[in-house]
């Protein structure tokens, strides 16, 4: 072995030892959970639910900070540029990839600048319509929209968000012509739907369940691969007539690129144990989500696959950030 080979080997061994020591002593001070959205939303609720659980298990404060702005770009970039020591983490959604699919000017790359830790839960959307449309099935909706192109509207939470791109995917797959009405968040989407000023939207179950139950909105299909236990009579979009249509959303915890792998593995192990515990899982399901606690690799695969899907949809629909 040459001197150079010995020096390289020694450097690698030293790096591994340092990483192991970091993992053994981590965390030794408070950890910040950055939520790149305003307080009160689903991700804020998730972060504040995880925070005390992680504090108990790891014996250090986990402090939630909301950093909204530019979609989710402001908070996400802060984490991407943070010191990769495990003390600044990102709690986000698949907006991480939808934003990157639409906005070419982001100053970070969701694949190369962040390390996936775990996806606490998965979810999907319900395709809901206002009862005034007079349709009871997805096939009836598609037929009505094709018979009257450009007459009806669909709501989204803003250009490039998951509800927008989900609807764009639906349009591309079915060939219908409906007008996009971008709004500011799911609350405004629901208000406009209930008023009948817009007629169609892809929304989460937690946002729509009470209105589906009282008949104010009609659920035609869900975008998940299987039916929702909470809506057993509502088919999947694929079952209802659009083959292979599937949209699964997720929440994710990420660390800056370069975070030692033993720290990532420890965080993943703790998050997975928390979200799969019966009482925590029950709360997750009540909010219309499915407990997951994925591996780091599985979350990384989801980021890569979803980014490719959304970029293809954005390109096909000529969707541009505004």
Distance CA 194, CA 230 (A): 21
Residues 193 and 277 in one domain: no
**CATH of residue 278:** 3.40.190.150
Domain count along the chain:
2
Looking at the domain assignment, is residue 232 inside a domain? no
Residues 197 and 263 in one domain: no
Which pLDDT value is given to residue 12? 46
Alpha helices in 196-277 (DSSP H): 205-213, 261-275
DSSP 249: E
From 207, 222, 237, give the residue that closes a domain: 222
Looking at the domain assignment, is residue 322 inside a domain? no
Looking at the domain assignment, is residue 200 inside a domain? yes
Q: Quick check: helix, strand or coil at residue 233?
A: coil
DSSP 20-31: HHHHHH--SS-E
Distance CA 247, CA 95 (A): 13
Which pLDDT value is given to residue 284? 87
Task: Look up residue 294 and give its two tokens.
Answer: 């994925």
Per-run averaged pLDDT (10 residues), the chain, 322 residues: 54 47 82 91 90 97 93 93 98 93 92 97 95 96 97 92 94 96 88 95 90 96 93 96 94 97 98 95 85 96 95 92 71
Looking at the domain assignment, is residue 29 inside a domain? yes
* Centroid of chain to Cα 264: 20
Residue 265 near residue 246 (C-beta atoms within 8 A)? no
Looking at the domain assignment, is residue 242 inside a domain? no
Residues 256 and 107 in one domain: yes
Residues 112 and 261 in one domain: yes
Residues 113 and 260 in one domain: yes
Scored b (16 or more CB within 10 A) or e, 210-240 reads ebbeeeebbbbbbbbeeebebbeebbbbbbb
Residues 27 and 112 in one domain: yes
Which pLDDT value is given to residue 19? 46
Looking at the domain assignment, is residue 233 inside a domain? no
Residue 220 CB partners (closer than 8 Å, separation 6+): 127, 128, 129, 135, 136, 137, 138, 141, 234, 240
Residues 101 and 154 in one domain: no
Which pLDDT value is given to residue 5? 56
Which pLDDT value is given to residue 104? 86
Nearest C-alpha neighbor of 42 from the set 78, 91, 98, 97: 91
Residues 20 and 118 in one domain: yes
Domain that holds residue 57: 3-122+249-317
Task: Look up residue 121 and give its two tokens.
Answer: 């839960």
Q: Beta 126-129 vs 31-35: how paired, if at all?
A: unpaired
């Amino acid at each position: 072995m040459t001197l150079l080979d010995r020096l390289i080997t020694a450097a690698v061994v030293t790096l591994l030892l340092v990483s192991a020591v970091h993992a053994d002593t981590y965390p030794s001070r408070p950890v910040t959970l950055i939520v790149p959205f305003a307080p009160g939303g689903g991700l804020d609720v998730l972060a504040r639910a995880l925070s005390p659980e992680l504090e108990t298990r790891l014996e250090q404060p986990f402090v939630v900070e909301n950093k909204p702005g530019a979609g989710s770009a402001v908070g996400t970039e802060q984490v991407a540029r943070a010191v990769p020591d495990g003390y600044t983490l990102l709690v986000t959604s698949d907006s991480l990839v939808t934003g990157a699919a639409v906005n070419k000017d982001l100053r970070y790359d969701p694949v190369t600048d962040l390390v996936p830790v775990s996806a606490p839960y998965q979810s999907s959307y319900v395709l809901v319509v206002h009862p005034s449309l007079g349709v009871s099935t997805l096939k009836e909706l598609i037929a009505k929209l094709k018979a009257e192109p450009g007459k009806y509207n669909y709501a989204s939470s803003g250009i490039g968000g998951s509800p927008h791109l989900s609807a764009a995917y639906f349009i591309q797959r079915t060939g219908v012509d409906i007008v996009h009405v971008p709004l500011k968040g799911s609350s405004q989407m629901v208000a406009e739907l209930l008023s009948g000023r817009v007629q169609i939207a892809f929304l989460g179950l937690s946002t729509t369940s009470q209105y589906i139950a009282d008949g104010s909105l009609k659920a035609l299909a869900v975008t998940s691969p299987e039916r929702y236990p909470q809506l057993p009579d509502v088919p999947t979009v694929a079952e209802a007539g659009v083959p292979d249509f599937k949209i699964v959303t997720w929440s994710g915890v990420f660390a800056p690129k370069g975070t030692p792998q033993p720290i990532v593995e420890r965080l993943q192990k703790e998050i997975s144990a928390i979200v799969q515990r019966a009482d925590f899982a029950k709360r997750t399901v009540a909010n219309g989500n499915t407990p997951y606690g994925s591996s780091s690799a599985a979350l990384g695969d989801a980021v890569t696959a979803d980014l490719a899907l959304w970029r293809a949809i954005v390109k096909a629909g000529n969707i541009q950030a505004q």
